[in-house]
Every structure is written in structure tokens, then in C-alpha cells.
């Protein structure tokens, strides 16, 4: 049980770092501070667990027709929902920014997970 929680917390923490990194890259992507990024990461994690599967099932035909690329739109939608729930502490100016940010957040998180995974394996 502890290992599952530790894995989830590590994922949330790395996702928060990715949110902060993307906020530094885009002027139209604002996140107040690291604490806000952590909270947003937790909210995003919950949405990915509950809302994202529902969206995937509802959009399955278009996802199949686009060979899975519509998942990128779903990721941007969940990011926009997170932004709406967070209020003034987390602002994304437009869907296009959310789309690009969701791709970058995914790539940064994957990179950080590989980096942490490689570090843990070396220990």
C-alpha cells in the first residue's frame, strides 16, 4: 500500500514540476507558486482517474478515426477543467495554449520519470 502511495505522490510531484516548467515557457500559462502546482497536479490526477476515462469512452469513434491523436485533445480538456477548478491561481489563456501545454507537460513528466527511475535503479 505504501509503495502505491509513494508512486502516486512521486508522479504528482513530478507533474507539479512540469507545470511550473511550462508556466516558465508560456506567458499565457500562469501558475501562482509551487504549492498551487502541487494542488493542481492532485486535481489533475483525480480528473485523469475519473473524468478522462469517461471522455475517452464517449469519444472512442473519433479517437479511433484519428489513430489516437484525439487523446491529445482530451488531455487539453482535462487541463482546462483543472484550470477552471483552481480559479485565479492557475490561468490558461485559451485552448491552444492548453493543447501545447498538455503535450509539454506529458513530455517533461516522462523525462523526469525516466530520470528518477534511472537514479533509483543506480542506487
Summarize pLDDT for 53-101 with one digit per residue, the tens.
999 999 999 999 999 999 999 999 999 999 999 999 999 999 999 999 9
**Integer CA distances (angstroms), 83 to 5, 32, 53, 80, 115, in order:** 25, 12, 19, 5, 28
The reported pLDDT for the residue numbered 32 is: 94
- Cα atoms in the 13 Å half-sphere on the side-chain side of 105: 29
Cell numbers for 83: 484550470
- Cα atoms in the 13 Å half-sphere on the side-chain side of 70: 14
The reported pLDDT for the residue numbered 107 is: 95
Rounded to 10 degrees, the C-alpha dihedral 105/42/121/4 comes to: -140
Rounded distance between C-alpha atoms, residue 32 and residue 20, angstroms? 9
120 pLDDT above the threshold of 60: no
Contact 52, 73 (CB under 8 A): no
The reported pTM is 0.88
Counting residues of the chain whose pLDDT is more than 90, the rounded percentage is 85
Q: Region 109-122: what's the mean pLDDT?
A: 77
Q: Region 103-115: what's the mean pLDDT?
A: 94
Contact 80, 52 (CB under 8 A): no
Amino acid at each position: 500500500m505504501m509503495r502505491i502511495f509513494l508512486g502516486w505522490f512521486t508522479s504528482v510531484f513530478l507533474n507539479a514540476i512540469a507545470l511550473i516548467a511550462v508556466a516558465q515557457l508560456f506567458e499565457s500559462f500562469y501558475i501562482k507558486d509551487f504549492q498551487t502546482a502541487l494542488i493542481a497536479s492532485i486535481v489533475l490526477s483525480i480528473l485523469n482517474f475519473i473524468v478522462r476515462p469517461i471522455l475517452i469512452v464517449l469519444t472512442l469513434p473519433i479517437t479511433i478515426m484519428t489513430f489516437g491523436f484525439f487523446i491529445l485533445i482530451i488531455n487539453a480538456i482535462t487541463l482546462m477543467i483543472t484550470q477552471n477548478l483552481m480559479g485565479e491561481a492557475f490561468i490558461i489563456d485559451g485552448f491552444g495554449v492548453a493543447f501545447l501545454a498538455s503535450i509539454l507537460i506529458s513530455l517533461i513528466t516522462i523525462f523526469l520519470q525516466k530520470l528518477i527511475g534511472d537514479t533509483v535503479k543506480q542506487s
